[in-house]
């Protein structure tokens, strides 16, 4: 069957509007950044459908003026697909970019038509612009996107294929094009490009919804595993991770240290400055700890003002230095916040390094908690560490 480009354009129009409407309807159950991404994607399909609708019906005296409109709408819609990927990753987006891209391409097309450049010049310009945007989409999903899955790779490969197709179209236009301005082009290259655009619209929409679903699942996982106030691991996830690290250290004979940290006299902070300020102190302490540890370490909020840390590949001596560094950093970095209410914020820390006497992760927690208890009773704002040979808390000099 030899379908002409006008018919394919009409099919793309119908599919684009159907896809855009479906994505808008499906976006209601997603978080705000995913919903914003889906809306951008849907609006891009609306613009693309509008462009192909005008292109398929173009015929008559107004064709010269419709050419800039068609290509401006198409590039604007394609650029919205790029911004939708950025929204999905919560990256910064210039919201006026799709409009600006469409206006620039439209004005350039108008200039080409006025200068007598013909359809070949228009196809060269728009093909280059489309290939550039598609390449940018491919880079976002194949290179910059974190936690990429199969839908991301399919979308990236599809974008690369479409970009290559538009480069072929640009080369064909540079070699000469005798197509009249008042009718849509209907050569072999144009038909192939239109078919590729149709397939890209259908397959791309399916993959984009799958990408949004993956992002949604990651968001749910993050909410299930993190503490809502501080953003560190919640108690349940911390103990799950602790069990995994304990078994790994035991199996491979590696070092492992556990610390428990508690904010000193936190009830007094709440009583004197109020619970909202107390929450600010908890967040500040969590941020300070997160900034002091390695990527492979883990921190969790295991109580109201109590935190615990897992330090893989860390022996007793190194663990003591880390604990003292945390204590000093909190005393120093949270001082400015505490001064707002005339308070002093310090912490006490208890720690233990894994040894042969520890049969379970809970044994490490129990001993580090006992060391914390001793640090509290010894005057607070200090570190107590349990050394294997002593089996009793060891005071770390401040």
Average pLDDT over residues 265-271: 90
Is pLDDT above 60 for 397? Answer: no
Token couple for 37:
């991404």
- pLDDT tens for 290-336 read 999 998 999 999 988 999 999 999 999 999 999 999 999 999 998 88
pLDDT in tens, 133-143: 999 999 999 99
Structure tokens at 353: 């390094």
Mean of all residue pLDDT scores within the chain? 86
- Has residue 78 got a pLDDT over 60? yes
Is the CATH number of domain 5-225 1.20.120?
A: no
Taking residues 217-224, what's their average pLDDT? 82
Distance in angstroms (rounded) separating the CA atoms of residues 381 and 263: 9
Do residues 304 and 262 touch, judged by C-beta distance below 8 A? no
Q: Name the residue with higher pLDDT: 109 or 63.
A: 109
- Domain boundaries for CATH 3.30.70.270 within the chain: 235-396
pLDDT confidence of 391, banded at 50, 70, 90? very low
CATH number of the domain located at residue range(s) 235-396 in this protein: 3.30.70.270
Instruction: Measure the CA–CA gap between 140 and 131, rounded to whole angstroms.
Output: 14
Q: What is the pLDDT of residue 392?
A: 47
Q: Length of the chain, please?
A: 398
CATH 1.20.1070 in the chain, residue ranges? 5-225
3-state SS, residue 395 = strand
Mean pLDDT (whole number) for 99-126: 86
Least confident range from 74-78, 173-177, 357-361: namely 173-177
pLDDT of residue 179: 56
Catalytic residues: 305
Distances (CA, A) of 234 to 76, 127, 230, 257, 372: 43, 51, 9, 19, 20
pLDDT at 205: 87
Q: Higher confidence at residue 283 or residue 6?
A: 283
Distance CA 47, CA 50 (A): 5
Tell me what the mean pLDDT of segment 150-158 comes to. Answer: 90
Please check the confidence at residue 64 and state whether its pLDDT lies above 80. no
Residue 21 confidence (pLDDT): 92
């Amino acid at each position: 069957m030899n379908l002409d480009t006008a018919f394919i354009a009409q099919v793309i129009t119908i599919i684009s509007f159907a896809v855009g409407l479906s994505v808008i309807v499906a976006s209601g159950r997603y978080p705000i950044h995913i919903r914003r991404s889906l809306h951008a994607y849907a609006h891009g399909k609306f613009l693309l459908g509008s462009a192909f609708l005008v292109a398929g019906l173009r015929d008559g005296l107004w064709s010269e003026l419709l050419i800039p409109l068609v290509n401006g709408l198409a590039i604007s819609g394609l650029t919205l697909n790029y911004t939708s990927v950025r929204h999905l990753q919560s990256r910064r987006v210039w919201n006026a970019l799709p409009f600006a891209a469409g206006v620039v391409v439209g004005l350039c097309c108008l200039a080409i038509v006025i200068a007598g450049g013909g359809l070949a010049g228009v196809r060269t310009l728009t093909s280059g612009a489309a290939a550039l945007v598609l390449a940018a989409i491919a880079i976002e999903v194949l290179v910059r996107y974190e936690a990429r899955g199969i839908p991301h790779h399919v979308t990236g490969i599809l974008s690369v294929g479409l970009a290559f197709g538009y480069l072929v179209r640009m080369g064909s236009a540079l070699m000469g094009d005798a197509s009249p301005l008042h009718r849509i082009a209907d050569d072999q290259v144009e038909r192939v490009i239109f078919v590729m655009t149709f397939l890209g619209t259908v397959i791309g929409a399916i993959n984009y919804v799958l990408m949004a679903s993956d992002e949604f699942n990651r968001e749910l996982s993050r909410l299930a595993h993190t503490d809502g106030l501080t953003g560190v691991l919640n108690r349940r996830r911390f103990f799950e991770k602790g069990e995994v690290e304990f078994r790994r250290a035991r199996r491979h004979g590696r070092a492992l240290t556990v610390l428990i940290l508690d904010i000193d006299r936190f009830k007094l902070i709440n009583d004197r400055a109020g619970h909202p300020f107390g929450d600010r102190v908890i967040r500040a302490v969590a941020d300070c700890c997160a900034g002091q540890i390695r990527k492979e370490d883990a921190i969790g909020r295991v109580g109201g003002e109590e935190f615990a840390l897992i330090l893989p590949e860390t022996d007793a001596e190194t663990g003591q230095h880390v604990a003292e560094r945390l204590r000093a950093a909190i005393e120093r970095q949270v001082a400015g916040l505490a001064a707002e209410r005339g308070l002093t914020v310090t912490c006490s820390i208890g720690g233990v390094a894994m040894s042969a006497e520890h049969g379970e992760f809970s044994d490490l927690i129990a001993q580090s908690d006992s060391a914390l208890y001793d640090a509290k009773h010894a005057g607070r704002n200090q570190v107590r560490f349990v050394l294997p040979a002593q089996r009793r808390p060891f005071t770390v000099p401040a």
